[in-house]
Structure 1
Amino acid sequence: MGNITKKGTRGPVIDRASSTEPVRSKALHTKLYEAIMREDCTTIETLLRNHPVNQPMTVLANSTCYRLLLNQPTQSIIPIHLAAKYRKAQSLLCLLEHGADPEIRDTRGHTTLHLMLLHWPITPATWTEPVNRIQRILTDIQNHAVTCLHILCEHGALVNARVDNDYKYSPLHLAIRYGTYPVLSILAQNGAHVNAIDESCMTPLHMAAGILNKKMTETLIACGANVNCTVSATGNTALKLAVCAASTKAGRLLAADISCIRLLLTNGAKVNTQDREGQTAIHEACFGGREAIINLLLEFEADVNILTRNGEAPIFMFLQRRSNITDTTLLDKLLYLSYPLKLTNNQGILPTGLLLPEFHLLKETLIRLSQKPLSLQVICKNNIRKFYGEKYKQHLKQLLPPKIWDSIYSYCDLSQLLK
C-alpha cells in the first residue's frame, strides 16, 4: 500500500504499516548496538534472527548509545566492526559463531582486523606491571584487545589483507603506523608476511626503523624481517632510514636514541649499501653532523671515502653545513680518515658551507691540502687505517709499539693547518 488522500483532508495520510517499518528497524539496530556493547550474547542471538549479521546498523542520535558516536546524528556500522572497535571479545566471538564475515569492509576499505588495529589502546612501554588503578584499567583494556585479536585470527581473519586505499597498508604496516607494538608477534605467528610492502614499497621494518622504534625493530627482526631489503623507488635500507631520522635537526636537538641503529648493524645491516643516488648511511650521518652516529657507523666499517653518483664524499656532505664546520674536533677526525681528500663533486663544485665568507681561510687551506701529493709514510698510514678500521684499532694497539700506533692513529690538528 502507498500514500492515499482522503476526501476532506488537506494532505496525504501515511499508511501506518509502511511508516512504522523504518522505526522498527532502527529500534532493532539500537537494541543490537547496545547488546554488543554490553556483551549480552543471549540478546545478540535473539536479535540476529531479525537482523542479518553482516548488515550495517544505523543508530539514531537519541539512542542511549549515542554518546559513543562522536556527535554524529546517525552512524552506520557493521556489528562485527563495532565489537572489534570497542574490544568486546564475547560479542565478537558470538557474531563470528553466527556467520559474521571478518573480511567485510567499511566505506574506507578497512576489514575488521584493520579497524581493531586502528583503535588499539596504547599503554606506556615503560610499565613493567600496573601499580595503580588507572594503569590496571588500561592494562585490562590492552588485554581485551589481545584477546579479540586472537579470536579474529582463530576465526580466519586474513592477516595479510591490505587496506583498500592509497597506502595499501598490510596489518603489520598499520601496527607500525599506529604504534601497536604488542600485535606484531601475534600477526607474524598467524602468517603475516613480515617483508610485505605497501604502495610506497616500504616494509614494516622500514617504517619501524624510520621512527627509531627499537622494540618494533627488534620484534620484526626476530620474526624474520630482511634487514637489507631496499625501497625500490629510492634504494633506501632500514639502516639509512634510521640514520636519517636520528640525524635530522629534531634528532640532534632531542638527542634521539641511536640504539635502533646499533641493533640493525649487529643484525647484519650492510653499512655501505648505496641508494639510487649513491648515498650511504655515512653520507647521511656526516650531513647530520652527529658524532655518535658517525662513530657507530665507523665502528662497523663504514667507508668514509665512498662517493655518490655525483662524486660527493662523506666529508663533502659534512662541509655543506655551517654548524658542522664549527665542530672542529669532528672535522679533524674526518679529515684524518679521508683519503684521498676530495672536496668537490663531479662538477667541481665545493660544499656550500665551505663557501661562507667566515670559512675563507679554511677553504683555501683544505684546497691546498687536497692538492698536496701524499708522502709514502702517509700512504702507508692510510692503508693501515683502512685495513684495520676503527673497529680493530685497539687490537692493533696491542701489537704495535706505542710510538708507531700513535703516529698511525693521531688525528690531524686543524688549528695547526690554519697557521
Structure 2
Amino acid sequence: MGNITRKGSRDLVVDSAKSLEDGPSAALHSKLYEAIMREDCTTIEPTESIIPIHLAAKYHKAQSLLCLLRHGADPEVRDTTGLTTLNLMLLHWPVTSTTWAKPGNRTHRILTDIQNSSITCLRILCAHGAQVNAQGEISNKRSPLHLAIAYGCYPVLSILTQNGADVNAINEASMTPLHMAANMLNKEMMETLIAYGANVNCAVSSTGNTPLKLAVCTASSKAGRLLGAGVSCIRLLLTHGAKVNAQDYKGQTAIHEACFGGREAIINLLLEFEANVNILTRNGESPIYMYLQRSFNVRDTALLARLLYHTYPLRMTNNRGILPAGIMLPEFRLLRDTLIKQSQKPLSLQGICKRNIRNIYGEKYKQHLKQFLPVTIWNSVYCCYDLAYTS
C-alpha cells in the first residue's frame, strides 16, 4: 500500500504501481485500482491481496467497498503496520467543513458529498461486522474511537458507539476517548461520549489525571474565544458529575492547575462548584501557593484577594519552606511581607467561622443561605474580602 498519509495531507496516494511487485499481476492490480476509484462494480473482483478493500476504505468509495465486502473481502485484514480497514478509513477521514463554503454553492455541495460518502462507508463497514473495538497500529494501540478523536472525525463517534464501541477503552497512555477530547477542548465530542456513558471521573493510571484536570490545564493556556470554549467544556464536565476536588498522583486538583494558570473565569467556575482552595499537594503546595508562583498572577490583586477570601490557613511555603517564585520579585516585597505576617497570625474565631461558612456553602448556595441568616451576618460573611491580606 505504500506509506499511509496522516491528517493534513489529503492528496490521493496513487502509489499502487510503486508498492506492487513487477510481474504478470501488475496489470491486474492496476486495473482493479482504477475500477475501485471509478466505483465500477462490474469490473471489481476479489483477489488474495489486501489492497482492494483498503483502497476503497481510504478513499471512501462506498459502492466499491460494498461490492468487495459482498464478494467476501475481510474487513479485519491488516496491513503491515497492523491497521484494519476501519483504522485506515479513520486515519484518512476527509478534513472537510461545510462552514468553509457558502451554503448551496458548488464547493459546499462537494464537501457535503465527501462527508456523506465517508459516513456511508463507515456504516457499510459496521454493518458487515467491522470490529469497532479492535486496536490498530503495532506501536500505538488505539481503538477506533481514539483514532476518531485524534483525527477530528466527530461525525463517526455516534456511529461507532451505536455499534458497540467502548467509550471507556484506554490507549497505550491509559487515556480514554474522553480524556483525549477534554485535553483538546472538543465540546461536541465530549458531549457525545458523555451521552453514551463515558466515565467523567476516570483517572489516567500513570498520572491520576481526570478529564476535568486535563481540560483545566489546556483551557488555562488559552485566551479570548478559546478560553471561553474551554470554560464551556469544564462546565460540561462539572455538570455531569466530575469531582471538582479529585487529586492526581502529585496531590494536585483542578483548582491547583487553574490557580497556576491564573485565568479568573476558570477559577470562578471551579469555586462555583465548591472547589476546595485549602487542599495541599504532596509537596505541601496550596492553590494560593500555585497562584503566587507566577508574577503575572500576583499583579492581579483582585483575583488574589478573592482566593484569600476562601483560604484558611494561609500557607506561604511548601513542605521544604520555600516561598512561591512569583512573589520573590523586588516589586512585591511589601505584599510578600504582608502575606507572610498574615500566614503567621491566626485568624480570629469570627474570621474562621466566616471562612468555614464560605467554604461549606460556597458561591453556589450563598443566595440560598441569605434566606436564613440575618442580613448583617450574611453581609459580614459574603460582602467583603479580607483586603488586609493584600494591603
Q: TM-score, normalised by structure 2?
A: 0.90
Are 2:95 and 1:122 equivalent residues in the alignment? yes
Shift of 1:241: 0.3
Partner of 1:61 in structure 2? none
Partner of 1:160 in structure 2? 133
Are 2:19 and 1:25 equivalent residues in the alignment? no
Separation in 1, partners of 2:257, 2:349: 32
Separation in 2, partners of 1:216, 1:277: 28
Partner of 2:227 in structure 1? 255
Are 2:201 and 1:207 equivalent residues in the alignment? no
Q: Which amino acid aligns with 2:282?
A: R
Partner of 1:36 in structure 2? 36
Q: Is the 8 A contact 2:305 2:389 kept in 1?
A: no
Q: Is the 8 A contact 1:212 1:245 kept in 2?
A: yes
Partner of 1:272 in structure 2? 245
Aligned CA-pair RMSD? 1.9
Partner of 1:13 in structure 2? none
Partner of 1:219 in structure 2? 192
Are 2:233 and 1:239 equivalent residues in the alignment? no
SS in 2 for 1:274: coil
Matches within 5 A, 1:63-212: 78-124=51-97, 130-212=103-185
Partner of 1:55 in structure 2? 49
SS in 2 for 1:42: coil
SS in 2 for 1:41: coil
Q: Is the 8 A contact 1:130 1:139 kept in 2?
A: no
Give the 3 Å change call, closer, same or farther, for CA 358–387 of structure 1 in structure 2: same
Are 2:376 and 1:382 equivalent residues in the alignment? no
Partner of 2:3 in structure 1? none
Q: Is the 8 A contact 2:308 2:386 kept in 1?
A: no
Separation in 2, partners of 1:374, 1:96: 75
Shift of 1:401: 3.4
Give the 3 Å change call, closer, same or farther, for CA 155–418 of structure 1 in structure 2: closer
Q: CA-to-partner distance for each residue in 1:261-282, whole Å, 9 max, x for gaps? A: 1000000000000000000000
Which runs of 5 or more residues in structure 1 are unaligned? 1-20, 57-77
Q: Is the 8 A contact 1:185 1:219 kept in 2?
A: yes
Q: Which amino acid aligns with 1:98?
A: H
Matches within 5 A, 1:380-419: 380-412=353-385, 414=387, 417=389
Q: Which amino acid aligns with 2:131?
A: L
Q: Highest Rg: 1 or 2?
A: 1
Give the 3 Å change call, closer, same or farther, for CA 197–100 of structure 1 in structure 2: same
Shift of 1:156: 1.1
Q: Is the 8 A contact 2:98 2:111 kept in 1?
A: no
Give the 3 Å change call, closer, same or farther, for CA 417–277 of structure 1 in structure 2: closer
Separation in 2, partners of 1:378, 1:126: 55
Equivalent pairs: percent with the same residue? 71
Shift of 1:357: 1.4
Separation in 1, partners of 2:235, 2:22: 62
Give the 3 Å change call, closer, same or farther, for CA 24–417 of structure 1 in structure 2: closer
Partner of 1:74 in structure 2? none
Give the 3 Å change call, closer, same or farther, for CA 219–128 of structure 1 in structure 2: farther
Are 2:320 and 1:309 equivalent residues in the alignment? no
Shift of 1:125: 7.5
Shift of 1:395: 1.6
Partner of 1:281 in structure 2? 254
Separation in 1, partners of 2:170, 2:290: 31
Which runs of 5 or more residues in structure 2 are unaligned? 1-20
Q: Which amino acid aligns with 1:39?
A: E
Separation in 2, partners of 1:332, 1:229: 33
Shift of 1:229: 0.5
Q: Is the 8 A contact 1:312 1:345 kept in 2?
A: yes
Shift of 1:22: 4.8
Greater RCO between the two (CA within 8 Å, min separation 6)?
Answer: 2
SS in 2 for 1:227: coil
Give the 3 Å change call, closer, same or farther, for CA 125–400 of structure 1 in structure 2: farther
Q: Is the 8 A contact 2:220 2:227 kept in 1?
A: no
Shift of 1:348: 1.1
Q: TM-score, normalised by structure 1?
A: 0.84
Q: Is the 8 A contact 2:135 2:141 kept in 1?
A: yes
Partner of 1:75 in structure 2? none
Shift of 1:410: 3.2
Separation in 2, partners of 1:212, 1:341: 33
Q: Is the 8 A contact 1:252 1:290 kept in 2?
A: no
Q: Is the 8 A contact 1:332 1:411 kept in 2?
A: no
Q: CA-to-partner distance for each residue in 1:45-78, whole Å, 9 max, x for gaps? A: 3xx4xxx2x415xxxxxxxxxxxxxxxxxxxxx1
